[in-house]
Structure 1
Amino acid sequence: MSQLRIGIIGLGWFGEIHAETIIGIPSLKLDALCTRNAERLAQQGEKFGVQKLYADYNDMLADPNIDAVSICTMWDQHTEPAIAALKAGKHVFLEKPIASTVEDARKIVAASKDSKGILFIGHIARFNPRFRMAKQAIDAGRIGKIVALSSRRNIPAAWTPEILNKIGPIVGDAIHDTDLMLWLTGDRIVSAYAQTVSVRDLKNPDIGQTMFRFSSGATATLETVWCMPEKTPFDIDERMSIIGTEGIIHIQDTFPNLAIVDDNKLHSPDTTYWPEFDGVRGGALRDEFDYFTRMALAGKQPDIGRPEDAAAALEACLAAEESARSGNVIRIG
């Protein structure tokens, strides 16, 4: 087999971005779409020329000609379709966070052990070339033992009112940096402390500040602000510093590396994660799907995007949220 026939479950804005990525990868064929929204299903089917349209993911999974699925439902709706797809023997690309509870994450991990298909968790930041190069340098021993890490992942307020009624900034975005820190250090997090700030009185707070302690004794601080002012001239302020006993790595994916000024304002389109060219997405998301496809076609379990890693990142972030609610340091493991 040289091509995977893939279906998408969940057609929100990111499900559509998945589709725009898949159509540009020769080893993938976008073969089916699934959402309960009939109007959205028809519109997306027409846009991508897909004939197999489903309102129930179980009907999609019953199709023996579907080799793989991408699951882009909300995080609290991951468990049932992920387990069903794994039981059906499909290869599964599951967007982060892996689940909304540690218990559900463990159920998904367990289901992956008995499946003919592979399970890959879409922690896209691992495919950002800057973080990949940092990982190479750390693995080569260039900065010695890691003793401290810090990150910033802040976005404008205009992006987040709807999102904050579904997920908070720590699990919603700091989980990227949590996963990266676990990957870069090869360590485990043993405690979490966090504070949050509610600016707009939405269901979840606008700001999360988190501290982790690793088993090695290293510490980390993570800043996640989901309410940067409307006039902020860029869409993300993304940074990380990794301090070792023999060196330092600083990663910056912020401020305009591409600036377009029109009669409205300054725009800084994404050039890293899913840049669009002629209706097709590239960047880290394309690299992520390419990696998933190569692993699935080879029948190999992924080394990047392992479900166990995603479960560990989720557990740490949920512990941080519990710390913010209780005011206590939360021990992990």
Structure 2
Amino acid sequence: MVMRVALVGAGRFGALHLHAFRSLPVEVAAVCEPDGERRAAVQEEFGIPAGYGSLDELLERESVDLVDVVSDESTHGELVLKAVEAGCHVFVEKPLSMDPAEAGRIRDRTRARGVQVVTGQISRFGAGYQHLRDVLDRGELGRPVNLRFRRDFSRSWFPAFGRRVHPVWESGVHDIDLAVWYAGAPCREVYAVQRRVSGLEYPDTLVAVLTFANDVVATVESAWLVPDAAPQTLRGSLELDGTIDAVTELLGDRGTAAYRLAHDGLSVRTDTALAQPELTLWPTVAGRVSGALAAELGYAVEVAAGTRGNDVIPLDEAVEGIRIAAAVQRSAEQGVRVTLGT
């Protein structure tokens, strides 16, 4: 049986999901997008038969197996709960929610309704990040001591986010999730600082220190200050040229390991730009969107179909990440250490 999917949110990233779904055994049966013009354009381009302005209307009129939530961050939790209550499985782009209490309700209702919710923590599906986890699991580094994460973005992108959402929910949440994955213990304390360079509502830079119950310490740094002259790492499918420069380092008592998302192993030089396209997240290969995005959507389809368990990004770990992210924002805004209960 082919799984019927409904897409919620037909923006730039929603369209990227639709490209990836073309390689999966699914039927995109409906799209929900409040912008009628955008909705019609996406329906025509991808051959989606039904379009709706609200998820309530879609769920009332359509029978779907999996709801794919790719809307603005602030709407995720509410939309996930609606889909869960309708008895649908859910894939939701990060973050699962921006409210720890709401994230907890999602976990409770998911269990009660007997459905699955997969959060799009894409890094867990990147081969480099997975390899680091395997190295840890094999004990090659000994006991984990410090985890270091740095993720920098094009300065030109920031106005689109600096008025919309705190960067802990856009960029920091990736590395918070990796810290949860690698540390293997609950977080017990958070301290963070932030700075505003552009003068927008939200900070351009953020640094957080996370201390876990097993004494592993993680540092998470995020900045939106990469100049336009930097090598482009994103090109093509997302229709957003620019740079993501991300580095992850694991330090154990018997070894270290590191992974850089983009590097000069692949480079394209022209009269107008230097590009070093990254091949982890959503590269287009032979005309199809592949990489970690295709892998995580394929994983969500398998979880929803019941052919595998939700073991790569368990909902409990997604909820823990939301708890930490909210504490990071509170600490950064108030200048205080935040202790997290177990």
Q: The TM-score by the shorter chain falls in which range?
A: over 0.9
Hey, what's the Cα distance between the residues in 2 that align with 1:185 and 1:112? 26
Correspondences of 1:252-271 after superposition (within 5 Å): 252-271=260-279
Hey, what's the Cα distance between the residues in 2 that align with 1:278 and 1:41? 27
Task: Identify unmatched segments of 5+ residues in structure 1.
Answer: none
1:276 CA displacement: 2.2
Equivalent of 1:272, from 275, 280, 301?
280
Matched position secondary structure for 1:20? helix
1:291 is aligned to 2:290: no
Matched position secondary structure for 1:246? coil
Give the structure 2 partner of residue 248 of structure 1. Answer: 256
> Residues 5 and 26 of structure 2 are in contact (CA less than 8 Å); yes or no, is this contact kept in structure 1?
yes
Give the structure 1 partner of residue 23 of structure 2. Answer: 24
Correspondences of 1:1-333 after superposition (within 5 Å): 1=1, 3-25=2-24, 27-63=25-61, 65-234=63-232, 235-277=243-285, 280-298=288-306, 300-333=308-341
Aligned residue-pair number: 331
Matched position secondary structure for 1:201? coil
> Residues 60 and 66 of structure 1 are in contact (CA less than 8 Å); yes or no, is this contact kept in structure 2?
no
> Residues 236 and 255 of structure 1 are in contact (CA less than 8 Å); yes or no, is this contact kept in structure 2?
no
Hey, what's the Cα distance between the residues in 2 that align with 1:280 and 1:165? 33
> Residues 23 and 30 of structure 1 are in contact (CA less than 8 Å); yes or no, is this contact kept in structure 2?
no
Matched position secondary structure for 1:160? helix
Give the structure 1 partner of residue 240 of structure 2. Answer: none
Matched position secondary structure for 1:240? strand
Hey, what's the Cα distance between the residues in 1 that align with 2:269 and 2:130? 31
> Residues 144 and 250 of structure 2 are in contact (CA less than 8 Å); yes or no, is this contact kept in structure 1?
yes
Instruction: Mark the CA change 1:56 to 1:171 in structure 2 (over 3 Å): closer, same or farther.
Output: closer
1:268 CA displacement: 2.7
Hey, what's the Cα distance between the residues in 2 that align with 1:112 and 1:214? 27
Task: Identify unmatched segments of 5+ residues in structure 2.
Answer: 233-242
Instruction: Mark the CA change 1:279 to 1:104 in structure 2 (over 3 Å): closer, same or farther.
Output: farther
- Percent of aligned positions that are identical: 27
Look up the equivalent residue of 2:282 and give its one-letter code: W
1:279 CA displacement: 5.3
1:149 CA displacement: 0.9
Hey, what's the Cα distance between the residues in 1 that align with 2:275 and 2:157? 14
Hey, what's the Cα distance between the residues in 1 that align with 2:124 and 2:315? 14
Q: TM-score by structure 1 length?
A: 0.95
1:62 CA displacement: 2.6
> Residues 152 and 238 of structure 1 are in contact (CA less than 8 Å); yes or no, is this contact kept in structure 2?
yes
> Residues 73 and 169 of structure 2 are in contact (CA less than 8 Å); yes or no, is this contact kept in structure 1?
no
> Residues 9 and 70 of structure 1 are in contact (CA less than 8 Å); yes or no, is this contact kept in structure 2?
yes
1:65 CA displacement: 3.3
Q: TM-score by structure 2 length?
A: 0.93
Moved more, 36-45 or 211-220: 211-220
